[in-house]
Amino acid sequence: MASSMSSLATSAVAGARGAMKARGIHCSMPGRFARRFSNVFVAGRPALKLYPELSIAALKNRTDKGLILWYELRAHNSTGSHSPGEQWSSGRVLLTEDSHSSLASTFGYSIPTLYRLLKLGNGKYWVIYRCLGFRILYLYGLGRVAKSLQVQTLSRPVQVEGKELKGRQSKRAWLYASFFKPEGCKSKPISRDSLADATGIQRRQQRRYEKVARVRRVANFAVWQNQAGVIVPLVQQVAGKSRQYDKPRRLGNTYYSRAKQANRGMAKRVAPMRSLQRDEARSLRRFFTSAKSLLQCSKRAEESYLLVDNRERIIKGRMEWGLIYA
Q: Tell me what pLDDT residue 66 has.
A: 92
Is the Cβ–Cβ distance between 154 and 51 less than 8 Å? Answer: yes
Closest by CA position to 200, among listed 175, 221, 165: 175
238 burial type by CB count under 10 A (0-12 exposed, 13-18 middle, 19+ buried): exposed
Cβ-contact 20, 68 below 8 angstroms:
no
pLDDT tens per residue across span 209-246: 999 999 999 999 999 988 888 888 888 888 888 888 88
Candidate from 1-10, 23-32, 164-173, 187-196 with smallest mean pLDDT: 23-32
What percent of the chain has pLDDT above 70?
A: 76
Neighbours of 271 (CB within 10 A): 9
Model pTM score: 0.76
Q: Where are the alpha helices (DSSP H) in the chain?
A: 2-22, 31-35, 52-61, 64-75, 97-107, 111-120, 142-148, 168-177, 192-199, 203-212, 276-282, 291-296
CA distance 14 to 9: 9
pLDDT band per the 50, 70, 90 thresholds, residue 107? confident
The percent of the chain in helix, strand and coil, each rounded to the nearest 5, is: 40, 25, 35
Judged against a pLDDT cut of 90, whether residue 266 lies above it is answered with: no
- What pLDDT, on the 0 to 100 scale, is given for residue 326? 65
Average pLDDT over residues 304-325: 89
Torsion angles phi and psi, residue 247, rounded to 5: -130, 145
The dihedral sign for the CA sequence 100, 105, 108, 111: positive
Confidence (pLDDT) at 10: 47
Return the pLDDT at 2.
Answer: 42
Mean pLDDT on 132-142: 84
List pLDDT tens digits, range 4-40. 444 444 444 444 444 334 433 333 333 444 444 433 4
What CA–CA distance (Å, rounded) separates 223 from 82?
A: 53
The length of the chain, given as a count of residues: 326
What pLDDT is attached to residue 52? 92
CA neighbours within 13 Å on the CB side: how many for 56?
21
Closest CA to 92 of 131, 147, 42, 142: 131
Residue 115 φ then ψ, to 5°? -60, -40
Average pLDDT over residues 308-318: 89
In the DSSP assignment, the letter for residue 36 is T
pLDDT computed for residue 278 by the predictor: 47
pLDDT attached to residue 261:
87
* Segment 290-311, tens digit of pLDDT: 888 888 888 888 889 999 998 8
In the chain, the N- to C-terminal Cα span, in Å, equals 64
Condensed to tens digits (0 to 9), the pLDDT of residues 52-103 reads 999 999 999 999 999 999 998 887 754 433 344 444 444 577 777 877 887 7
